[in-house]
Amino acid sequence: DAGVIQSPRHEVTEMGQEVTLRCKPISGHDYLFWYRQTMMRGLELLIYFNNNVPIDDSGMPEDRFSAKMPNASFSTLKIQPSEPRDSAVYFCASSPRQGLSQPQHFGDGTRLSIL
Amino acid sequence: AQSVAQPEDQVNVAEGNPLTVKCTYSVSGNPYLFWYVQYPNRGLQFLLKYITGDNLVKGSYGFEAEFNKSQTSFHLKKPSALVSDSALYFCAVSVGWGGGADGLTFGKGTHLIIQP
């Protein structure tokens, strides 16, 4: 079975540009999570969805960040405009119906560098 | 709010020796506890979880963890370390039944280094 698929794997762009990160969860999983990993702050939950509906977006750092899940097989995390402090590895994860009691399956991440 | 503490940034163990990676947690309610491992340039991989029942849980690659409610701890252990166990290990907690929807909170991670 295919795991969680994230694209692109690497993204380098200049500050002020719009960045879109993409995620395809495991088929049949009802929960989708977006995380950000940095050396300074570790792994932070940004937002998570249940059945395509955002449940908790309290971790989204600023209005420059937005996330959508238009259907069960696709989600995007958008940063507009991007800033150098947004440089990090962004992970998407999905889990089955039982949600928070079940293990999350992580993609291999998108390494984002904002110059 | 829930939180996880991993007090050691790095743990060094000789190959063949037992290893322990420490984790303590704080939640309002019953915890769901997890351990994940991360290898370089990869996403996190699930190792084991505690939801309810036996305090000692066994997971992948020979790892196990012991849930201690009085000490609010969930330390990761392995009887005999392998060089291939060298990686970054994360403890995580979410609130179980009766809790809210705060998602999963991770500790800052512990680098485990197994020396040949």
Structural tokens at position A77: 């995390």
Residue of A nearest to B5 (CA): A42
pLDDT exceeds 70 at position B100: no
Structure confidence by residue, pLDDT tens digits, B39-70: 998 999 999 999 888 899 999 999 999 999 99
pLDDT band at A105 (very low <50, low <70, confident <90, very high): very high
* CB contact set of B6 (below 8 Å; sequence gap of 6+): B21, B22, B23, B89, B90, B91, B107, B108, B109, B110
Q: Does residue B28 register a pLDDT over 90?
A: no
- Whether residue B6 contacts residue B88, with contact meaning beta carbons closer than 8 Å, is answered with no
B11 to chain A, minimum CA–CA distance in Å? 17
Q: Residue B96's pLDDT band (boundaries 50, 70, 90)?
A: low
Amino acid B102: pLDDT: 54
Query: Given CB atoms, is B111 within the 8 Å cutoff of chain A?
Result: no
- Tell me the pLDDT of chain B averaged across its residues: 91
Instruction: Band the pLDDT of B99: cuts 50, 70, 90.
Output: very low
At B116 the pLDDT is 94
What is the arithmetic mean of pLDDT over A13-17? 96
What one-character DSSP code corresponds to residue B61? G
B43 touches A: beta carbon within 8 Å: yes
Closest chain A residue to the Cα of B47, Cα to Cα: A103
CA distance A56 to chain B (A): 7
